Structure 1
Amino acid sequence: MNGILSWDDLNKFEVEDLDRVHGINNSYANLRLFGHSENDVLVTLYRDRHSWCPYCQKIWLWLEFKKIPYRVQKINMFCYGQKEGWFLEKVRSGKLPAIEFKGKVITESDNIIAFLENEFGALGSFITSSHLIKIRNLEREIFRSWCNWLCRESFNFIDNSFRKKRFKESISKLDEILSSSKSGFVDPSVSNTGNVEPGVGDIIFIPYMERMNASLIYYKGFNLRSNYRHVDNWLTLFEGTSAYRGTQGDFHTHSHDLPPQMGGCYKESNEQQITFSKLIDTGEGLGNYELNQNYDSKYYATIALKRVIKHKENLLKVNPYNKESFDESLRSALSHMITGEVLIPKKLSGISLRYLKNRVSVPRDMPIISARLLRQSLNKIESLSNINEIDNIPFRHRYDQDPRNFISS
Structure 2
Amino acid sequence: MLKKVVGKAAKPAAMSFADNAPSWEVLSNMVKAQEAELGVNFTAPDLENGPTHPLSLKRTFGSTEPIRVKLYRDHAGWCPYCQKVWLQLEEKRIPYTIEKINMRCYGDKPPSFLAKVPSGLLPVLEIDGRVVTESATIMALLEEQFPGHKPLMPAPNSPQRPRADQLMRLERRFFSDWLNWLCSGWNGPSAQAQLERTLQAICKELEADGGPFFMGQDISLVDITFAPMLERAAASLAYYKGFVMRGAGKFSALEAWFDAMEARDTYLGTKSDHYTHCHDLPPQLGGCYSTPEGELFAAALDGQDGASWHLPLPPLNATSTPEAYSPGENPPVDRLAAAARLVVNHAAVGRFALRGAGQPGPRPVSAPLADPSGVAALQHEAAMDAALRHVAHALLVGVQEKQVMEHALQVQEAGELDGAAVAASAAYLRDRVGVPRDMKLPAARQLRAHLNWLIDSLQPAS
- Per the normalisation by structure 1, the TM-score is 0.85
Q: Which runs of 5+ in 2 are unaligned?
A: 1-18, 36-40, 304-308, 318-322, 358-376, 412-417
Q: Which runs of 5+ in 1 are unaligned?
A: 189-195, 389-409
Residue 202 of structure 1 corresponds to 223
Secondary structure of the equivalent of 1:40? coil
Residue 172 of structure 1 corresponds to 200
Following the alignment from structure 1 to structure 2, what is the Cα–Cα distance between the partners of residues 127 and 333?
55
Secondary structure of the equivalent of 1:380? helix
1:127 and 1:201 in contact (8 A); partners too:
no
> Equivalent of 1:7, from 24, 36, 51?
24
Residue 345 and residue 197 in structure 1: after superposition, are their counterparts in 2 closer, same or farther (change >3 A)? farther
Whether 1:316 and 2:316 are equivalent positions in the alignment is no
Report how many residues are paired. 373
1:30 and 1:73 in contact (8 A); partners too:
yes
Residue 50 and residue 276 in structure 1: after superposition, are their counterparts in 2 closer, same or farther (change >3 A)? same
Residue 93 of structure 2 corresponds to 67
Residue 282 of structure 2 corresponds to 259
Residue 167 and residue 286 in structure 1: after superposition, are their counterparts in 2 closer, same or farther (change >3 A)? farther
> Equivalent of 1:245, from 268, 273, 290?
268
2:153 and 2:164 in contact (8 A); partners too:
no
Following the alignment from structure 2 to structure 1, what is the Cα–Cα distance between the partners of residues 184 and 131?
35
Rg larger for: 2
1:337 and 1:377 in contact (8 A); partners too:
yes
Whether 1:355 and 2:428 are equivalent positions in the alignment is yes
Residue 285 of structure 1 deviates from its aligned partner by 7.6
Residue 127 and residue 237 in structure 1: after superposition, are their counterparts in 2 closer, same or farther (change >3 A)? farther
Superposed CA RMSD: 2.2
Residue 394 of structure 1 corresponds to none
Following the alignment from structure 1 to structure 2, what is the Cα–Cα distance between the partners of residues 352 and 232?
38
The structure showing larger relative contact order (alpha-carbon pairs under 8 Å, at least 6 residues apart) is 2
Residue 125 of structure 1 corresponds to 154
Residue 50 of structure 1 deviates from its aligned partner by 1.1
Which deviates more from structure 2 when the two are superposed, residues 240-249 or residues 339-348? 339-348
Which deviates more from structure 2 when the two are superposed, residues 125-134 or residues 202-211? 125-134
1:218 and 1:276 in contact (8 A); partners too:
yes
2:72 and 2:124 in contact (8 A); partners too:
yes
Following the alignment from structure 1 to structure 2, what is the Cα–Cα distance between the partners of residues 109 and 149?
24
Residue 8 of structure 1 deviates from its aligned partner by 3.1
How many percent identity over aligned positions? 34
Residue 387 and residue 166 in structure 1: after superposition, are their counterparts in 2 closer, same or farther (change >3 A)? farther
> Equivalent of 2:295, from 262, 267, 274?
274
Which deviates more from structure 2 when the two are superposed, residues 238-247 or residues 311-320? 311-320
Residue 32 of structure 1 deviates from its aligned partner by 0.8
Secondary structure of the equivalent of 2:279? helix
Whether 1:88 and 2:121 are equivalent positions in the alignment is no
Residue 126 and residue 210 in structure 1: after superposition, are their counterparts in 2 closer, same or farther (change >3 A)? farther
1:250 and 1:290 in contact (8 A); partners too:
no
Residue 252 of structure 1 deviates from its aligned partner by 1.2
1:27 and 1:364 in contact (8 A); partners too:
yes
Residue 321 and residue 79 in structure 1: after superposition, are their counterparts in 2 closer, same or farther (change >3 A)? closer
- Per the normalisation by structure 2, the TM-score is 0.76
Counterpart of 1:287 in structure 2: which amino acid? Answer: L
